[in-house]
């Protein structure tokens, strides 16, 4: 979730909670005030009636007077009680319909000509309820409009305030280390964002400087190592031609030659890994996986024939990827070389290419390899019959190439076959 949305969501939750609390509270407060006003009016009316009873001298006058106001009811009683107010619902006819309407009543006693009467004064609450509903509706609309306005203003202001941050973030996404094209970072009137832009620029500069140093070191180290390795190899070859040469000396020289060849391969592999990591293969083109696979299979067929390994190919759908041709050749070469190296005599290799995927399966000892570590650098499985001269970088290079082009490579052991799958899904 974006920071801006998280902030707005917090405001929205808080506002909605306040709305849920304040509207019912406002309703009960206003209703209590209105009832208090009605009760005060009823008590005042009851007091005025009691003050004017001196003008009534008979029961006949009292009956005539009580009929003059429909909101007043009078009935004889034998109990003298205190004045009381209460709410009652009366069944009335309205617009040809019957419904219960709320009334507020006050009941008290009066004495006329020595007789005790119960006096009840009623006041309809319909108008109060209508007024309360109107007030509540207006208040709800105002609160909702206020909330919506605050959220809208906050969202737009926040977007404007956070614009330098999103601009800096977008520039970081677009930055390419090998090109060192520092994008323009917008100035802001907020000090923290200016400090962020300054830190980003310094980070870009330091990263590019380290990249250049690492690139130069890799190139220099590779170049400087190649010369002594080549000299060492030539000296070994001259030493092999010296006579007389004992069997023990020949064994030692052969061992030194194997070690030197291993150093040469290690140097080339480390240099290749470094170049891939430093993005020194920027040139890309549309590459046909089937075309490259057929070319690599032809190159390795003689090697496979030495171990009497059969290579079967099945191409059901061509895959075109945008990548560097050399790196795709290295990817397929390393996988096929691995399948030959760890195969068994008279074994089989099956290469299948479908739309957007390539599968390389090979026979071998029924040993499940560590799927989490098999692509790590210098990781070697305790694989009987495997090539002990392996430098442990072939599959690491495969994974690095896949990461570079957003491919997905995986390994599993299925049906007594070691299976490597590459999905060429580029975003």
Beta sheet of 310-315, edge-to-edge order: 310-315, 348-354, 357-363, 417-423, 408-414
Q: What is the pTM of this model?
A: 0.49
CA distance 339 to 317: 22
> Which pLDDT value is given to residue 392?
65
Question: Which three-class secondary structure state does DSSP give residue 120?
Answer: strand
CA distance 58 to 53: 11
> Which pLDDT value is given to residue 348?
92
Burial of 20 (0-12, 13-18, 19+ CB in 10 A): exposed
Q: Tokens for 236, please give them.
A: 């070994």
> Which pLDDT value is given to residue 280?
66
Task: Give me the tens of pLDDT residue by residue for the chain, a chain 427 residues long.
Answer: 566 667 777 777 887 788 788 878 888 888 888 888 888 988 898 888 888 777 776 667 777 777 777 778 888 888 888 989 988 887 766 555 666 788 888 898 888 777 888 888 888 888 877 887 888 888 788 878 877 887 787 777 777 777 777 787 887 777 776 666 666 777 777 788 888 888 888 888 888 788 777 777 766 776 677 777 777 778 777 777 777 777 787 788 778 877 777 777 666 766 776 777 666 667 788 889 999 999 999 988 888 888 889 999 998 888 888 888 888 888 898 899 888 888 888 899 999 998 888 999 999 877 666 666 777 766 565 554 445 455 567 788 888 888 888 889 888 888 888 899 999 876 5
CB-hemisphere CA count at 13 Å for 44? 7
> Which pLDDT value is given to residue 153?
77
Please work out, in degrees rounded to the nearest 5, the angle formed at the alpha carbon of residue 80 by the alpha carbons of 79 and 85.
Answer: 110
What domains, with CATH codes, occur in the chain?
A: 3-148 (3.30.450), 192-277 (1.10.287), 285-423 (3.30.565.10)
């Amino acid at each position: 979730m974006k920071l801006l949305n998280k902030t707005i969501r917090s405001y929205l939750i808080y506002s909605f909670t306040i709305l849920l609390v304040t509207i019912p509270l406002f309703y009960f407060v206003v209703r209590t005030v209105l009832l208090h006003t009605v009760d005060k009016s009823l008590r005042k009316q009851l007091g005025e009636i009691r003050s004017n009873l001196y003008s009534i001298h008979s029961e006949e006058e009292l009956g005539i007077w009580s009929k003059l106001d429909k909101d007043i009811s009078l009935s004889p009683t034998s109990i003298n009680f205190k004045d009381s107010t209460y709410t009652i619902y009366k069944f009335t006819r309205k617009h040809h319909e019957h419904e219960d309407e709320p009334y507020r009543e006050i009941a008290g006693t009066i004495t006329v000509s020595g007789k005790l009467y119960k006096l009840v004064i009623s006041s309809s609450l319909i108008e109060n309820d209508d007024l309360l509903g109107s007030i509540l509706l207006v208040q709800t609309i105002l609160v909702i409009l206020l909330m919506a306005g605050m959220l809208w203003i906050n969202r737009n202001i926040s977007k404007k305030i956070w614009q330098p941050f999103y601009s800096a973030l977008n520039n970081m996404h677009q930055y390419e280390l090998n090109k060192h094209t520092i994008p323009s970072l917008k100035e802001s009137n907020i000090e923290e964002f200016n400090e962020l832009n300054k830190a980003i620029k310094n980070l870009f500069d330091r990263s590019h400087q380290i990249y250049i140093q690492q690139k130069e070191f890799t190139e220099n180290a590779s170049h400087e190592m190649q010369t002594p390795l080549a000299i060492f190899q030539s000296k070994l070859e001259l030493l092999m031609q010296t006579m007389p040469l004992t069997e023990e000396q020949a064994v030692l020289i052969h061992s030194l030659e194997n070690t030197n060849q291993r150093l040469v391969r290690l140097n080339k592999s480390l240099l290749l890994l470094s170049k891939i990591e430093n993005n020194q293969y920027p040139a890309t083109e549309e590459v046909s996986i089937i075309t490259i696979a057929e070319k690599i299979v032809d190159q390795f067929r003689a090697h496979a024939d030495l171990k009497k390994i059969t290579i079967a190919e099945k191409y059901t759908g061509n895959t075109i990827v945008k990548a560097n041709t050399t790196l795709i050749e290295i990817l397929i070469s390393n996988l096929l070389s691995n399948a030959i190296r760890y195969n068994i005599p008279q074994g089989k290799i099956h290469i299948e290419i479908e739309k957007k995927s390539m599968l390389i399966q090979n026979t071998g000892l029924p040993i499940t390899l560590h799927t989490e570590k098999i692509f790590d650098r210098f990781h070697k499985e305790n694989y009987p019959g495997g090539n002990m001269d392996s430098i442990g970088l072939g599959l690491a290079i495969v994974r690095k190439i896949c990461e570079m082009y957003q491919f997905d490579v995986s390994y599993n052991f299925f049906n007594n076959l070691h299976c490597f799958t590459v999905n060429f899904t580029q975003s």
